[in-house]
Amino acid sequence: ETGVTQTPRHLVMGMTNKKSLKCEQHLGHNAMYWYKQSAKKPLELMFVYNFKEQTENNSVPSRFSPECPNSSHLFLHLHTLQPEDSALYLCASSFDRVPYEQYFGPGTRLTVT
């Protein structure tokens, strides 16, 4: 595998389900990011991890719970989501130094029913 991978690519879940999104980077980076991309809205940065430590949480609801066990893996645990959480969730990674050039995975298309 190369670059940034994300699984699953598509996910349909009910509002009471619990699921997890997985991201893995093979670039030797030490910072990882979760973004949310909704239709007709700008990219929203959700979380930033640097060397496994969370350095940013952009007021994301607690129904989204990130986990970063090491610099190569990032998870987003989902529970009791709302229909408005349906979106494309993108993972990215970068080195933790300027210019913070980010490389993205293909995204997980999430639909909450």
By the criterion CB under 8 A, which residues form the site for another protein?
A: 31, 42-43, 45, 48, 50, 55-56, 88, 90, 92, 94, 96-107, 109
Taking the complex as a whole, how short is the minimal distance between the CB of residue 69 and another protein, in angstroms?
Answer: 20
Give whichever of 12 and 15 is closer to another protein, judged by the CB atom: 12
Taking the complex as a whole, how short is the minimal distance between the CB of residue 72 and another protein, in angstroms?
Answer: 17
Q: Is the dihedral angle over the CA atoms 55, 56, 61, 66 positive or is it negative?
A: negative
Give every strand in the sheet of 18-25, ordered side by side: 4-7, 18-25, 73-79, 64-70
Give whichever of 18 and 101 is closer to another protein, judged by the CB atom: 101
